[in-house]
């Protein structure tokens, strides 16, 4: 009888303890799940950012043309377009603007950019992340010129260079050297000719870049067609900041994991999630071609994404591949 009572007592204790233990485990798992979701978000952000660089502002520009600076035909300008000026780099450390944007009575023509004083051989840098569209020599105009298209919708033009330091189709980061200052083409002295355009429409670079203070004029520029626009903010955090998730996951939300019996599996899963990579399905791709591209197997792709070998892929579908 004593042993029966004792057994019943232990069972009762177990029944009471089980929900508590379950709640504790769920509470312990919560930050791990949060971290894994954040890591997935970071990986997806990186994927989308990389795609933006491979085909920048694809939703805005009708084509990718590498022969002429103006190559968009009769494209209708958007009534309003928000240009993100954050994550910028100044094209040159020189601060003196020698010729402003606007009409030049002497030459009876429009000066479509800024001329910034420079010494021959000064490094000229990309103003934003982007993809190089044009690298060529124009003897009667820009001389050695580089044109870069950026995911924020802008195209930046760098003229009169003494030397190119990049190639057509190259993906460049903000601040990456793309040329050396010079006096080539139609130029009366060494300087950088710098232009900013959206769909071929000229924007006064002084509305965006403050060379004297080596800064941009604000966080955003609202383009409103034909040179008009509004500047917004001055280095103020914004809810649409494309880096928010990345910064939170990599800097502000680190979670330490203890390797004990209760959470070692979750910790392993979290570490695996950090290394998860994604692929966005493009037109004409198959499970086989995607597996070959990422050096994996169709079977592994299917397991990672809950698919079968006969599953139909959708354009734009996101697949895990590692």
**Could you report the per-residue pLDDT of 244-284, keeping only the tens digit for each?**
444 444 444 333 333 343 345 555 555 554 455 777 787 78
Note the pTM of the prediction, 2 decimals.
0.62
From the candidate CATH numbers 3.40.50.1100, 2.60.410.10, 2.60.120.260, 2.70.70.10, the one assigned to the domain spanning 81-232: 2.70.70.10
Cβ pair 59, 198 in contact under 8 A: no
Strand partners, 193: 115, 159
pLDDT score, position 247: 44
Question: Which residue from 210, 179, 174 is spatially nearest to 192, judged by alpha carbons?
Answer: 179
pLDDT at 43: 64
Q: Which residue has the higher pLDDT, 260 or 285?
A: 285
Residue 73 has pLDDT above 80, yes or no: no
3-state secondary structure of 170: coil
The sign of the dihedral angle between the CA atoms of 103, 104, 108, 114 is negative
Task: From 94, 126, 106, select the one nearest 190 (Cα to Cα).
Answer: 94
For tokens 């233990």, what's the residue?
A: 21
Over residues 30-54, the mean pLDDT reads: 62
User: Higher-confidence residue: 192 or 69?
Assistant: 192
Q: What's the pLDDT at 294?
A: 81
**Crossing angle for the helix pair 264-274 and 2-54, nearest 10 degrees?**
10
**CA-to-CA separations, 317 to 230, 242, 283, 285, 306, in angstroms, rounded:** 37, 21, 10, 11, 13
Weakest mean pLDDT among 12-21, 140-149, 195-204, 304-313:
12-21
CA-based max dimension of the chain? 114
Q: Could you tell me the residue ranges of all domains in the chain?
A: 27-52+243-253+262-320, 81-232
Residue written as token pair 């930046």: 156
Instruction: Specify the higher pLDDT residue, 199 or 1.
Output: 199
Q: Dihedral angle at the C-alpha atoms of 280, 281, 283, 284, nearest 10 degrees? A: 140
CATH 3.30.70.1450 fits 27-52+243-253+262-320, yes or no: no
Q: What is the pLDDT of residues 224-241, one digit of tens each?
A: 866 567 878 765 434 344
Task: Report in angstroms the alpha-carbon separations of 228 from 104, 115, 125, 274.
Answer: 20, 21, 26, 44
């Amino acid at each position: 009888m004593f042993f029966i009572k004792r057994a019943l007592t232990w069972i009762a204790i177990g029944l009471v303890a089980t929900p508590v233990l379950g709640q504790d485990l769920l509470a312990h798992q919560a930050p791990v799940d949060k971290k894994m979701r954040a890591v997935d978000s970071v990986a997806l952000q990186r994927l989308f950012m990389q795609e933006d660089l491979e085909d920048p502002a694809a939703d805005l520009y009708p084509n990718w043309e590498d022969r002429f600076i103006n190559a968009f035909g009769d494209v209708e300008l958007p009534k309003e377009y928000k240009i993100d000026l954050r994550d910028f780099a100044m094209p040159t450390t020189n601060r003196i603007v020698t010729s402003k944007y606007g009409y030049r009575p002497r030459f009876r023509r429009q000066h479509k950019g800024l001329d910034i004083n420079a010494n021959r051989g000064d490094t000229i840098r990309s103003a934003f992340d982007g993809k190089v569209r044009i690298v060529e020599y124009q003897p009667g105009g820009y001389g050695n010129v580089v044109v870069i298209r950026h995911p924020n919708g802008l195209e930046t033009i760098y003229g009169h260079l003494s030397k190119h330091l990049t190639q057509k189709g190259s993906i460049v980061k903000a601040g990456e050297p793309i040329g050396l200052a010079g006096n080539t083409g139609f130029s009366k002295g060494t300087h950088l000719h710098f232009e900013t355009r959206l769909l071929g429409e000229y924007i006064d670079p002084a509305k965006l870049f403050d060379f004297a203070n080596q800064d941009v004029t604000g966080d955003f520029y609202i383009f409103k067609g034909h040179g008009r626009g509004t500047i917004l903010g001055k280095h103020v955090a914004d809810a649409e900041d494309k880096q928010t998730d990345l910064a939170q996951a990599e800097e502000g939300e680190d979670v330490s994991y203890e390797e004990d019996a209760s959470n070692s599996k979750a910790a392993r899963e979290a570490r695996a999630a950090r290394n998860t990579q994604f692929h966005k399905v493009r037109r004409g791709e198959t499970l086989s071609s995607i597996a070959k591209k990422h050096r994996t197997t169709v079977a592994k792709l299917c397991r990672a994404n809950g698919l079968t070998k006969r599953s139909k892929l959708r354009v734009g579908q996101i697949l895990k591949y590692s």
